[in-house]
């Protein structure tokens, strides 16, 4: 479960970075 949680957090962080780049 911990591994899955970390994977989800990493995915959300990547998504935020992607949205930031698209916003620029």
Tell me the C-alpha distance between 24 and 11, whole Å: 20
- Express each pLDDT in 1-24 by its tens digit: 678 889 999 999 999 999 999 987
How many residues appear in the chain?
24
Instruction: Evaluate if pTM is beyond 0.75.
Output: no
8 Cα distance to chain centroid: 7
The per-residue pLDDT for 22 is: 93
Tell me the C-alpha distance between 9 and 7, whole Å: 5
The per-residue pLDDT for 2 is: 76
């Amino acid at each position: 479960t911990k591994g899955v949680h970390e994977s989800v957090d990493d995915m959300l962080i990547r998504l935020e970075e992607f949205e930031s780049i698209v916003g620029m």
